[in-house]
Chains A and B, each alone.
Chain A
Amino acid sequence: MRKFVDLHLRAPIKDLDQVERMVRRSSELGYHLVGILLPPNIMRSQIDQLRHICNDANIDLVARVNFSPKTPRELLHDLRRFRRKFEVISITCTSKGVARQAAKDRRVDLLHFSATNLRKRFFDRAEAELASKALSYLEIEMAPLLLLTGFSRIRLLSRLRREVAIAEKFKVPVTISSGATNEYLIRRPHDYAALATLFDMPISSALRAISENPVAMVERNREKLSPDYVAPGIRVVGRKSGA
């Protein structure tokens, strides 16, 4: 059976009731794993509290952080500082320099672009080539598709169609996430797959983008963050006591 993942719940973590409602709704709709957007300076106890809420709803939590650095140098600083604290790191690319640096850095998991300012969507062929080598994923958020109307939605769909075609050509994995700020913006995985057909993504690829692709990324990162991890394919299987 497929495990469905929503890597981007924009739940207000100060309002735990709202977080609980959103997590419960995600669980009811068939998700097994949700990524909640957390501030970089969050305390470990707060993450544990959120994990407890998710466990009650029978859903797995992924600690995710989002950075919008202004310069490549700022991006490198953020990555150095926070990579080992969070399971998923996404970068909102606000300039071409940041986009290129994010695409070639293996510590970046998700490339995220503005849905409203289409001039700041830098996912072109050069970006895709770098992202494909560094195993970064292209994230497509569905909330703007639901909220925008008229010409802005038309332009967004057209841009997403182009980006998905480029991603497919350069074999950049795509993830689809909700980007929901409340429970009314969360949809079932199959509904997201149907919505993805609006930008010419085949249903099978869309379902992969909401299940296998994000699951693979989270599992890879969890393995890397485990204390037994040494390098790809090498892990500590036992420690000699007193050594």
Chain B
Amino acid sequence: MPKLVRRRYLAIKVVSEQAVTERAVMNAIWKAILQLFGEYGASQTDLRLIKADPQRNYAVVRCSHKSLERTRASIASITEINGKPAVVHVIGVSGTLRALRKKVST
């Protein structure tokens, strides 16, 4: 039997003085994970961008259930994107995209 992979979906909101692309946000998250946990830790996060809404500065990323706190800590440690002050707030976490959508809309 294949082992079930448990994942967590995180809705994030980027607050910055300038418009930021989804690529810049993902680069900033990867950089923060690498700084805090190194390449071994980064490999365990299984981080993926699921979708992004650059107009509203929202995005959804996915990580492994076991590395949720690491991913969250890394996202919280971001202080700049493209050299400009920026913050990435995690506005919701859930095990499925549907539940996340419900959580964020409420």
A117 at the interface (CB under 8 A from B): no
A188 and B15 CA atoms in complex are apart in Å by: 13
Q: Are B79 and A195 in contact (CB under 8 A)?
A: no
- Set B75, B79, B89: member contacting A147, Cβ < 8 A: B79
Interface range on chain A (Cβ under 8 Å from partner):
10 to 19
CB contact list, B23-55 vs A, under 8 A: 35-36
- Set B70, B72, B75, B85: member contacting A184, Cβ < 8 A: B85
Q: Are A146 and B79 in contact (CB under 8 A)?
A: yes
- Set B35, B73, B87, B89: member contacting A195, Cβ < 8 A: B73
Q: Give the shortest distance, in Å, between B83 (CB) and chain A (any CB).
A: 13
CB contact list, A191-236 vs B, under 8 A: 191-192, 194-195, 197-198, 203
A190 proximity list for chain B (CB < 8 A): 72, 90
B77 at the interface (CB under 8 A from A): yes
B76 proximity list for chain A (CB < 8 A): 146, 187-188, 191-192, 194-195
B36 proximity list for chain A (CB < 8 A): 198
A152 and B95 CA atoms in complex are apart in Å by: 36
**Considering only CB atoms, which chain A residue lies closest to B16 in the complex?**
A184
Given A184-B15, A198-B36, also A191-B69 (CB < 8 A):
no
Q: Are B35 and A191 in contact (CB under 8 A)?
A: no
Q: Give the shortest distance, in Å, between B16 (CB) and chain A (any CB).
A: 9
Q: Give per-residue flags for A16-47: 1 if the beta carbon is below 8 A from chain B beta carbons, else 0.
A: 00000000000001000000000000000000
Q: Give the shortest distance, in Å, between A150 (CB) and chain B (any CB).
A: 9
Q: Are B73 and A194 in contact (CB under 8 A)?
A: yes
A111 and B1 CA atoms in complex are apart in Å by: 54
Q: List 27 A-B contacts (CB under 8 A).
A: A146-B76, A146-B79, A149-B35, A184-B85, A184-B86, A185-B79, A186-B87, A187-B87, A187-B89, A188-B76, A188-B89, A188-B90, A190-B90, A191-B75, A191-B76, A191-B89, A191-B90, A192-B76, A194-B69, A194-B73, A194-B76, A195-B73, A195-B76, A195-B77, A197-B70, A198-B73, A203-B69
